[in-house]
Amino acid sequence: MRLGVVGAGVIGQLRAQSIRENPATELVAVFDTSSAAAARGVGGSNARAVGSLQQFMDIDMDAVVVSSPPHVHEEACIQALERGRHLLCEKPLSNTVEGCRRIVDKAIEMNRVLAVGFNLRYYPAIKFVKDTIDSGRIGQLDHLRVFGGHEGLPKFRIDWQYKAPESGGGAMMDVGVHMTDVARYLLGEITEVSGVMTETVWNVPGSEDNAMAVFRSPGGVSAIYQATWTEWKGYKFYVEAYGSLGMVRGAYAPMQNMIITQDRPGGARKTRWNMYPEIIVREKLKTWHSTALLSFAGELRDFLQMTSGNMNVPLADGYAGLRSVEIAAAVRESSEKHQVVKLSALGRMKAIHG
Ligand SMILES: NC(=O)c1ccc[n+]([C@@H]2O[C@H](COP(=O)([O-])OP(=O)(O)OC[C@H]3O[C@@H](n4cnc5c(N)ncnc54)[C@H](O)[C@@H]3O)[C@@H](O)[C@H]2O)c1
């Protein structure tokens, strides 16, 4: 498969590397508004570095990876789909709900794969949580707790990362959107949202510092959610799943799991930890980029599966991208109106046909 990358910043460089390193894929073009970034993305391959979207779209390719800032995703996504290319877009799919819907609708109209870069699904600690729930080891799932945050504005290099007109919001659209997706991935679907947001610490209009919410699945299982830009201890995310026979926790950074099991509610408990020393050592040498790169390689392999009609993979699809942004908007609406916001179930996108 021949792929091109739009946006070759921190994430786009890693996306381009994952394409260059996969024997089943070829990097044919990199577009960035910075010619230096585009050239870096090419990384010694035969790909072309180009400086305009038009030039990029005119190059023959099968699929596009979009890793530019969120407010410019839509233009590149729509053009790629209109040219009949499959698409893997970074999170958030767009900075607005309407933008996400237009991208999803275009993918359906064009019968192309639309995947979204919710790469935490590929982090070993999150995979362990998913597998543990699915195996029944913690019994019947009762509820989840999900958390994602960091210390806010000092973390950002560029305005689009936190100013609402570009980012689409605050903590929820940044690390929060990943945790919304993890919650939905584990619950199956989210159709009810109630929450509160605050905007009192950083005072960036439209960009919440904190969002605290409860999500519910159609079957009535809940997730308690917090996305924050006031986590003074530094970047962290975790998910905890509680069931009738125990609990399982997946956390990062560092990558870690804890699982507690019991033979009956209140019975003798066993606790076990996964500490992932090889990941901790590798990150000391090669930073968090090495963990992200492995997750991008996994996403790319499953993207190829999706383009051959197999949707039975962990890779997030367009509906996951849309629902995570709808949920951020729903928490905002719920906070303003003091009401529960209901959403109809989306499920999984259908495999492409023909
Ligand atoms: N999956 C993850 O874990 C993860 C982590 C961080 C960021 N992201 C997402 O990845 C995307 C990129 O984030 P980043 O941290 O690499 O940002 P970045 O600022 O490092 O890179 C963005 C690149 O896009 C280029 N660019 C700007 N406008 C463009 C346009 N109109 N067309 C093409 N290129 C353009 C910039 O020159 C820059 O090189 C964002 O959507 C972000 O939310 C995902």
CB count within 10 Å of CB 21 equals: 14
Give pLDDT, residue 29: 98
Query: pLDDT tens-digit profile of 84-98?
Result: 999 999 999 999 999
Average pLDDT for 60-83: 98
Query: pLDDT tens-digit profile of 195-234?
Result: 999 999 999 999 999 999 999 999 999 999 999 999 999 9
Give pLDDT, residue 197: 97
Residue type at position 285: L
Q: Is 9 in the pocket of ligand 1 (CB under 6 A)?
A: yes
Report how far ligand 1's centroid is from the alpha carbon of 156 (Å). 12
Give pLDDT, residue 354: 74
Query: pLDDT tens-digit profile of 142-151?
Result: 999 999 999 9
77 pLDDT above the threshold of 90 = yes
Q: From 177, 179, 182, select the one nearest 167 (Cα to Cα).
A: 177
Query: pLDDT tens-digit profile of 10-58?
Result: 999 999 999 999 999 999 999 999 999 999 999 999 999 999 999 999 9
Pocket test for ligand 1, best of 15, 32, 95 (most atoms within 8 A of CB): 32
Report how far ligand 1's centroid is from the alpha carbon of 111 (Å). 26
Q: Which atom of ligand 1 is nearest to the CA of 53?
A: 32
CB count within 10 Å of CB 86 equals: 24
- 279 in Cβ contact with 254 (< 8 Å): yes
Query: pLDDT tens-digit profile of 279-328?
Result: 999 999 999 999 999 999 999 999 999 999 999 999 999 999 999 999 99
Query: pLDDT tens-digit profile of 180-199?
Result: 999 999 999 999 999 999 99
Pocket test for ligand 1, best of 17, 67, 235 (most atoms within 8 A of CB): 67
Name the β-bridge partners of 236.
Answer: 149
Give pLDDT, residue 303: 98
Token pair 């209140």 is at which residue? 266
| Mean pLDDT over each residue of the chain, to the nearest integer | 97
